[in-house]
Structure 1
Amino acid sequence: MNQTLFEQLNKWHEEDEHQKIADLLIAIPDEERDYEVISLLARAYNNLGLYENALFQLEDIAGAGKQDSLWHYRIGYTLYHLGRFEDAVQAFRRSDQLEPGDQSTEYFLRRSIQKAEKQKREELRLANKKASMERSSSAKEKFLFSDMFLADFWEDSEYARESYQSEPPTDELIDSIEKELGYKLPSSYIHLMKHQNGGVPKNTSFPTQEPTSWAEDHIAITGIMGIGREKSYSLCGDLGSLFMIEEWGYPDIGVVICDCPSAGHDVVMLDYRACGKDGEPEVVHVDQEDDYEITFLANNFGEFIKGLVSEEQYDTSEEDKEEALDRVEHGKFSPLLEELCSQVTEVNQVEQKIRNICTRIVEEKGHFSFHADELSYVMYDVQFWFYTKSYPNTSREQYLAAYEKIIAFGGEFGQGGYAPSFITDWLNHRIKEGRIVQDHGIIQFTNSYAEEVITKLQEA
């Protein structure tokens, strides 16, 4: 590979332009692809999340890679993300033997060992559960909640009523929803929904024995989905179980029953793997941030509901706020945000202006995230102005694809995730207002509104 091409590929890699790398390398005829080309193509596929493609490429050069620590690292990385943790352990161990002391290798080796052990425990638990259920004559749990328990279970709020709560379900609706989902719902869940059909409980935390992306010792839920289709957070609503499985890629092991504060990056599910579609499901946490890792929570829905505890038991709000303030004040900008800031001449000290606005957001919310509030809209505006100033021929689709690389997944100065609906809602709102105009598929601010955005940034 010539030096010019190698430098271009590294530049794209640093800019997260992995599709460009893949497209360029795929265009090289098979007979002209050497070991380095195939290895870099596999790296691009890994960074695009195309792990099966990466595995195919790496296995094609397995013979040549036997003594290459980087080859073992890359195939270990691929196997890790394919959930083949025992194989990943072997690959990372070999990489560590060939090049001891690499921090990334050591990190993934530790994580692979942990996940392989957890995977074995999970497989054994499911096998024992299936065997137990086959021996048991009672297939369904008959758990009901007391009137005293139900009277103090739900939190009454406008948000809960608007987003979750529907009229109590009829038997006909329950049958219809079960057919659409393909699973028989637990009697305890139906009992709870007939008391109140969806909502936000007073207690929103559940203890765990293992750490997740949310916390070391518990998970949190935002609400419990009701039986219906009308409310966004109902089982068959537009943000319900089918949407999370089909659009977000959650495993098809049952029914998404609770959303979480991460805005889609983890959920609680009814897990029917052991019991079958008509049996009594377990309750599990599924972590999209960690390759959809499954963590067991409770043997059944009733046990899960009874096990919910107050978030005050795990209140780390002050520590979280201090961490978020440090991040927005000192965190390194993403490569894309740095590039966009470098193109701004209209505002002095533009990087500090951004940090000032984001500091105000953290001070108000206690955490670093953009939603549908006034300051978040300022940051949506600023990011859009930045991007379209540097890339004036941007379409709606191109901007939505680039958005997450600016701040949402920006690394040190980032939020670790975002809800796509907030940014699309903002975009639609600005278009409806006439502040964003479209011309032959190209979107941009009107000149007058761009001046308003600049003024807000200058005053920050």
Structure 2
Amino acid sequence: MDKELLAQLTQWHEDDEHQKIVDTLMEIPPEDRDYEVTSSLARAYNNLGRYEEALEQFAMIAEQGQDDPLWHFRVGYSYYYLNRYEEAVRVLGIAHDLDPDDENTAMLLNLSQRKLRKDQHAAARRVIKDSHNDPRTEATPFEGMDFSDFWDDSDYALREYVSDPPADELIASVEEELGYKLPASYIRLMKEHNGGVPYNTCYPTEDATSWAEDHIAITGVMGIGREKSYSLCGDLGSTFMIEEWGYPDIGVVICDCPSAGHDVVMLDYRNCGRDGEPEVVHVDQEDNYEITFLAEDFEAFIRGLVSEEEYDTSQEDKEKDLRKVAVGKFSPLLAELCNRVSEVDQLEQKIRNVCTRIVEEKGHFSFHADELSTLMYDVQFWLYTSSYPNTSHQQYLDVYEKIIAFGGEFGQGGYAPGWISDWLDGRIREGLIVQENGVLRFTDQARSEVIERLEVAAAEEDVT
């Protein structure tokens, strides 16, 4: 490969400009692409999340790559993110044999082996379940279970979750909207108490998730209805989580979690069909929407909830995120944007101060709909459009994740694209952001107000 081209590709890779790599290398006729060019093209496809196309490129140089640990690692990377864990384990095992000291290979091999074991456990459960051909004994859902101390009817729970018991007509219309028949046990529980926050909010797991090594936690159980935000068809309900947050369309989201959208609990209909008895699973956005089995049905899930006191790691989690926002390295893009702005003294520290307040208030580092999070949405837009004044609506949505959301050390590991587009559209409707010839910018007044709000919010953290 030409040295000048190699230097340019390296720079684009470091700047996360992977589409430029693809566009440039695709201009080279296939017959003129050597091993290094094809490997670089495939790596760029991987970094763009276009894993099938990456594998097509790797296949073209498979014979040359047989003794190259990097070729095997990159192929294994494609398989891993395609959830083809058995193939990932095989290829990454070869990469590890060729280069036993490579830490990235060892880490990805370990993750692939863990997820392969999870898939194998799920397959074994299905075989056992399918082998029980005798009809299940008809029983009243939750027979013998005492619910007198189950629900925590705080003001928050009553305001955000709890609705009146659903009528049969409402249940039918919700099922039609969702496209799934709700379990009899779920309907029975909702007729007694339609949504809410249990006292026991943790569920033990055999496999680790992004939340913990041995359990998951829920914030509440969504009721059957539309009026409450946290109901199945509410504005933060199942359809919203699937369409806006990108969760897999395998069933119905029934529980939100303390991560503010980065993981959920779902009814999983993949093995039973839309009218069958679904399993209950945990889906982890921060781990490529990894699915972890929880319970074979909704009743078993509810009966298995335990107190958070058995797994109280909230303080440790909060301290971890406080360290992250205090000293975590900014993403390359965020560091660049801060260096280019001169209106605010000690800008980096002020951003850290605001994010520290967010962690102190929430217990974890995530942006949502609160005042300080909205300020950080505004700050990121101000910073980016100050340095790149010709930014369009779609360009900003495409680049947003590289600022903080997936910012590495100083990052959150995920975000809801629909939430950001809604924020942007809202600012445009409010007249704070204007669009001229396809280019977005804050009005002068709005820009000044964002800077002032940042100064005030950061100063409050200094005082506290």
> TM-score, structure 1 length as denominator?
0.91
How far is 1:413 from its partner? 0.9
> Which residue does the alignment assign to 2:27?
27
Q: How far did 1:162 drift?
A: 4.8
Counterpart CA distance in 2 for 1:389 and 1:254 is 43
- Give the residue type in structure 2 aligned to 1:137: P
Q: State whether residues 189 and 302 of structure 1, in contact with CA within 8 Å, keep that contact through their aligned partners in structure 2.
A: yes
CA contact (8 A) 2:260 2:368 kept: no
Inter-partner Cα distance in structure 2 for 1:31 and 1:139: 66
Q: Quickly say closer, same or farther: Cα 1:424–1:84, change in 2 above 3 A.
A: closer
Equivalents in 1 of 2:453, 2:145: separation in Å? 54
Shift of the 386–48 alpha-carbon distance from structure 1 to 2, 3 Å rule, reads same
Where does 1:403-414 land on structure 2 (aligned, <5 Å)? 403-414=400-411
Residue of structure 2 in register with 1:350 after alignment: 347
In the aligned structure 1, how far is the partner of 2:187 from the partner of 2:314? 34
* Residue type at the aligned position of 2:116: A
Assess, with a 3 A threshold, how the Cα gap between structure 1 residues 362 and 274 changes in structure 2: closer, same or farther: closer
**Measured at CA, do residues 249 and 357 of structure 1 come closer, stay the same or move farther in structure 2, by a change above 3 Å?**
closer
Q: What is aligned with 1:46?
A: 46
Which secondary structure does the structure 2 equivalent of 1:320 belong to?
helix
Q: 1:306 corresponds to which letter in structure 2?
A: R
Structure 2 matches for 1:325-404, cutoff 5 A? 325-404=322-401
Query: Which stretch shows the higher mean deviation, 305-314 or 337-346?
Result: 305-314
Residue 314 of structure 1: aligned partner: 311
Deviates more, 1:393-402 or 1:229-238: 229-238
CA distance in 2 between counterparts of 1:426 and 1:179 reads 30
**Is the aligned partner of 1:18 residue 2:15?**
no
Q: Look up the SS of the partner of 2:12 in the other structure.
A: helix
Q: Distance in 2 between matches of 1:39 and 1:269?
A: 39
Once residues 431 and 74 of structure 1 are traced to their aligned partners in structure 2, the CA distance between those partners, rounded to angstroms, is: 42
Contact 2:232 2:254 in 1 (8 A): yes
Q: Distance in 1 between matches of 2:64 and 2:237?
A: 48
Taking the aligned partners of 1:329 and 1:446, their CA distance within structure 2 comes to: 31
Looking at structure 1, the residues matched to 435 and 158 of structure 2 have their Cα atoms a distance apart, in angstroms, of: 36
**Cα separation, partners in 2 of 1:201 and 1:10, compared to 1, 3 Å:** same
Contact 2:325/2:356 (8 A) holds in 1: yes
CA contact (8 A) 1:127 1:274 kept: no
Q: CA deviation at 1:76?
A: 0.8
Q: Closer, same or farther in 2 for the Cα pair 1:354/1:248, shift >3 Å? A: closer
Q: 1:231 to 1:27 in 2, by over 3 A?
A: farther
The gaps in structure 1 that reach 5 residues or longer are none
- Tell me how far apart the structure 2 counterparts of residues 82 and 325 of structure 1 sit (CA, whole Å): 33
Decide whether aligned partners of structure 1 residues 167 and 325 sit closer, same or farther in structure 2, where only a CA change above 3 A counts: same
3-state DSSP class of the match of 2:407? coil
How many Å apart are 1:338 and its aligned residue?
0.8
Report the Cα distance in structure 2 between the residues aligned to 1:66 and 1:147, rounded to whole angstroms.
59
CA distance in 2, matches of 1:426, 1:181: 26
Q: Which residue of 2 aligns with 1:254?
A: 251
Alpha carbons of structure 1 residues 161 and 403: separation in structure 2 relative to 1, 3 Å: farther
CA distance in 2, matches of 1:318, 1:263: 17
Q: Give distance in 1, aligned partners of 2:232 and 2:432.
A: 36
1:249 Cα shift? 4.3
| Residue number in structure 2 paired with 1:450 | 447
Equivalent-residue separation in structure 1 for 2:155 and 2:424 (angstroms):
25
Q: Deviations over 1:114-145 (max 9, x none)?
A: 2222221211111111221xx12138664136
Deviations 1:271-302 (A, max 9, x none): 23444433322211122322332222112211
**Secondary structure of the residue that 2:65 maps to in structure 1?**
coil
Q: Is the 2:389–2:441 contact (alpha carbons within 8 Å) kept by the matching residues of 1?
A: yes
How many residue pairs get aligned? The number is 457
Taking the aligned partners of 1:246 and 1:408, their CA distance within structure 2 comes to 19
Opposite residue 129 of structure 2, the aligned amino acid is K
Q: Which residue of 1 aligns with 2:171?
A: 174
Alignment of 1:90-105 (within 5 A): 90-105=90-105
Q: Which residue of 2 aligns with 1:187?
A: 184
Q: State the TM-score, normalized to the length of structure 2.
A: 0.90
Gaps of 5+ in 2: 459-464
* Structure 1: distance between partners of 2:145 and 2:90: 54
Which residue in the other structure is 2:202 paired with?
205
2-side partners of 1:159 and 1:25: how far apart? Answer: 55
Shift in alpha-carbon separation, 1:189–1:26, aligned structure 2, 3 A? same
Q: Shift of the alpha carbon at 1:457?
A: 4.3
2:461 alignment partner in structure 1: none
User: Contact 2:223–2:232 (CA<8 Å) still a contact in 1?
Assistant: yes
Residues 144 and 41 of structure 1, relative CA distance in 2, 3 Å threshold: same
Among the aligned pairs, what percent are the same residue? 65
Aligned partner letter, 2:415: Y
Q: CA deviation at 1:168?
A: 2.2
Alignment-mate amino acid for residue 341 of structure 1:
C
Tell me the C-alpha RMSD between the 2 structures. 2.5
CA deviations over 1:78-133 (Å, ceiling 9, x no partner): 1112222222122112112222301001111112222222221211111111221x
Indicate the larger mover: 75-84 or 177-186. 177-186
CA contact 1:263–1:419 (8 Å) conserved in 2: no
Match of 2:134 in 1: 136
Decide whether the 8 Å contact of 1:329 with 1:355 is kept in 2.
yes
- Per-residue CA deviation, residues 243-275 of structure 1 (Å, 9 max, x unaligned), is 444554434433222222233332212223444
Task: Give how far 1:7 is off.
Answer: 1.8
5 Å-filtered alignment, 1:136-175, equals: 136-138=134-136, 142-144=140-142, 148-149=146-147, 151-157=148-154, 159-175=156-172
Aligned to 1:200, the other structure's residue is in SS state coil
- Residue aligning to 1:88: 88
CA distance in 1, matches of 2:379, 2:297: 47
Gap change, CA 1:235 and 1:453, over 3 Å in 2? closer
Whole-angstrom distance in 2 between the partners of 1:253 and 1:139: 27
Query: What displacement does 1:405 show?
Result: 1.2
Match of 1:266 in 2: 263
